[in-house]
Structure 1
Amino acid sequence: MRGEQRPVVAVYALGMQRSDVTRDDGTWVGLSLDVQDRHQPELCVLSAGPRLLVSQLSRPVLLAVVEEPLQGVDFWRTDGYRSFVPPLRADVGRALSGSLERWAHRFAQYLDDSPGSPLHEGRWLLSCESPLQRWRHADTSHAEYWSSMLVEGHPDGYIDWFLHSTSWEVLPLRPMPGPGDSRVRAYRKQVREGMLPPVLLWWVSGLDCHLILDGHARLAAAIAESIEPPLLQLHRTVSHDDLAARIDDAVGSYEYELARFAELRAIHGPTVPDGAVTAGPQLVRLLHDLHTAEQPTWAWPLPGGEGQWRRTAHEVTVGKGWLRA
């Protein structure tokens, strides 16, 4: 069925199974990552009511408070985040240039092997398709668009859910380097040579935005050169255990609709459509969502609750008066 996406070509690693997700025409969409035996990860979201803490290797990375009534998020970003992706040498970029599929397999290995990764048990998608790539107006340059999608502010700032409803901005986990930064200059050269490695994003539903896991300088280079940055987006999807049951439900609904239209045709004649025109595309959309749609990000209860969150906030922001935390 056209448009359907399905995983093929499984690759096994300790604790994780990787499967390529393709359309029925063979177009590569991303990697399905089925992770087992990994509970709370070393990069995770901890919650105490509306107060969130993103922690990496027990270091606070981002403090956040969801504003009532769900208008946005006040945040404080520390300097504690460290990318789990090792520096990408130019010869590696040259070898993998033009192939997001090959880059995805490499990043999947880093996600699986390296400390500080957000992967935990369940099913994930590492995809080359992101809604961020669909919203740029034709009259807006890539530099203007991607600059506008970056959440500003360091160390503190605000994710405005009201003004940017469903636009799912990009929140850097450290300050973005300027166009004159040595790493940015090196990546700008790779942009011009067509070999820029992708930016790795993590969709976090509790913040309603993407966090940059790796590629701050690469994104800055793409903006400086006004090109669309190559992206790989990581997010949770429907778990493997639930997937088969939900597919069965979707196919059952499709078959029910065809049977219903068949009964109507038996009564009223061939002028009644057979139902496939409406039920078929609906099934394709359901299967697409089951394989690729974002599922809410897991958050673990913060030990010590709100009191511990406030103590952490006080230690991180002492003397700054942030939210009088």
Structure 2
Amino acid sequence: MQRSDVTRDDGAWVGLSLDVQGRHQPGLCLFSAGPQLLVSQLSRPVLLAVVDEQLQGVDFWRTDGYRSFVPPLRADVGRALAGSPERWAHRFAQYLIDSLDSPLHEGRWLLSCDSPLRRWRHAGTSHAEYWSSMLVDGCPDGYIDWFLHSHSWEVLPLRPMPDADDSRVKAYRKQAREGTLPPVLLWWVSGLDCHLILDGHARLAAAIAESVEPPLLQLHRTVQRDDLVARIDQAVGFYEDELARFAELGAVHGPTVPDGAATAGPQLVRLLHDLNTVEQPTWAWPLPGGEDRWRRIAREATAGQDWPHV
């Protein structure tokens, strides 16, 4: 895996670009069978989902099969890396690539601290209220509402959120107050229009209990290698076309017309930056056996309960 830092034009660090090769199917894998989805971890069902016919949301059933691939994070490590999302990103990137049951597969990814979740909290809303509202309710089943929460990209825990008095949460609450809380690792899954918590359920609970903004690292796919050269050529072509257009205007109207670099240049920078940062759809693999197999898995996971409710 090749890693490279992604920065804004002002030099501010945005995230870590991961170029993964030789991993054709991940251990934590998204499968599809028509409108039915399955998140499976090394053949263990983790999350079953059904997109409703009106495309207004997703019914889901969460099993107890998810296991985090991140080892327990010691308090002294939290203190050593506090305030450095770059160092945390490199550490989590190593966990992602070393583990056979992470969602990484071949392609280009971004592990970023610049999550859109940070930008939507109203100034008059406390961190505890906001982050509590972003959590999708449901144990074991629930509903991701695309109609009421269109593009708000909620957060779906892959296991039950612990209570504020849980022993792990109490330990993390101290780190939250000290500003040394390790990041919560999220995976953006486009088929759910939602973030899944890969690691940090107790840390997020601690941040909510202390009403502080949780540090985040968000994982999502970016433009894949095969498309990258073509996309770069398109961006450069747009820049050159703009300069040529301004040159033609200058030939007609005289030297008062600018050369266009002041407007086309920043646009080129943004286009190139987006190639390393913009979210690409999450890959889903066809479920072997299709919808019949999905229904069998659902019956076993739900112990034959009447789910989904249709």
Shorter-normalised TM range: over 0.9
Structure 1 runs not aligned, ≥5 long: 1-15
Q: Which residue does 2:157 correspond to in 1?
A: 172
AA of the residue aligned to 2:185 = L
1:147-186 correspondence runs (5 A): 147-186=132-171
AA in 1 matched with 2:88: W
**Within 5 A, what are the aligned runs for 1:133-144?**
133-144=118-129
- Kindly indicate whether the alpha-carbon contact (under 8 Å) linking 2:78 and 2:180 is maintained by their aligned counterparts in 1: yes
Structure 1: how far apart are the matches of 2:246 and 2:4? 37
Residue pairs, 1:57-206, within 5 angstroms: 57-206=42-191
Q: Could you tell me which amino acid in structure 2 is paired with residue 98 of structure 1?
A: G
Aligned to 1:157, the other structure's residue is in SS state strand
Aligned pairs (5 A) from 1:231-250: 231-250=216-235
Q: Give the Cα separation in 1 of the matches to 2:6 and 2:308.
A: 44
Counterparts of 1:273 and 1:69 in 2: how far apart (Å)? Answer: 50
Show the 5 A alignment for 1:247-266: 247-266=232-251
Helix, strand or coil at the partner of 2:308:
helix
Instruction: Give the distance between the partners of 1:159 and 1:108, measured in 2 at CA.
Output: 28
Deviation at 1:283, TM superposition (A): 1.8
Q: Does 1:317 align with 2:274?
A: no
Q: How far does the alpha carbon of each residue in 1:71-106 deviate from its partner, in whole angstroms, 9 at most, with x for none? A: 000000000000000111111112111111111111
Structure 2 unaligned spans of 5+: none
Alpha carbons 2:58, 2:144 under 8 Å: kept: yes
Task: State the AA in 2 paired with 1:267.
Answer: V
Tell me how large the CA RMSD over aligned residues is: 1.3
1:212-247: CA deviation from partner (whole Å, max 9, x where unpaired): 000000000001111110000000001123223211
The runs of at least 4 consecutive aligned structure 1 residues that moved more than 4 Å come to none
- After TM superposition, list the pairs within 5 Å mapping 1:214-293 onto structure 2: 214-293=199-278
What SS does structure 1 have at the residue aligned with 2:90?
A: helix
Q: Distance in 2 between matches of 1:244 and 1:232?
A: 27
Give SS of 1:98's match. Answer: coil
- Secondary structure in structure 2 of the residue aligned to 1:322: coil
CA contact (8 A) 2:8 2:273 kept: no
Q: Tell whether the 8 Å contact from 2:299 to 2:305 is kept in structure 1 after alignment.
A: no
Deviation at 1:268, TM superposition (A): 1.6
Q: State the Cα distance separating 1:25 from its structure 2 match.
A: 3.2
Distance in 2 (alpha carbons) for counterparts of 1:281 and 1:19:
22
Q: Distance in 1 between matches of 2:46 and 2:231?
A: 36
Q: Secondary structure at the match of 2:188?
A: strand
* Deviations 1:159-183, CA, capped at 9 Å, x for gaps: 0000000100000000111111110
Identity fraction in percent: 85
Q: Quote the Cα distance in structure 2 between the aligned partners of 1:191 and 1:316.
A: 36
SS of the equivalent of 1:63 reads strand
Paired with 1:53 and 1:282, the residues of 2 have a C-alpha distance of 39
Aligned to 1:209: 194
* Segment of structure 1 superposing worse, 248-257 or 213-222: 248-257
Shift of 1:143: 0.6
Counterparts of 1:241 and 1:33 in 2: how far apart (Å)? 15
Give the TM-score of the pair, scaled to structure 1.
0.93
How many residue pairs match? The answer is 310
Q: Distance in 2 between matches of 1:270 and 1:66?
A: 58
* Contact residue 9 and residue 269 of structure 2 kept, 8 A: no
Residue type of the partner of 1:96?
L
1:271 deviates by 4.0
Whole-angstrom CA distance in 2 between matches of 1:18 and 1:276:
31
Could you list the per-position Cα deviations for residues 41-81 of structure 1 after superposition, in whole angstroms to 9, with x for gaps in the alignment?
10010000110000001000000000122100000000000
Shift of 1:324: 5.6
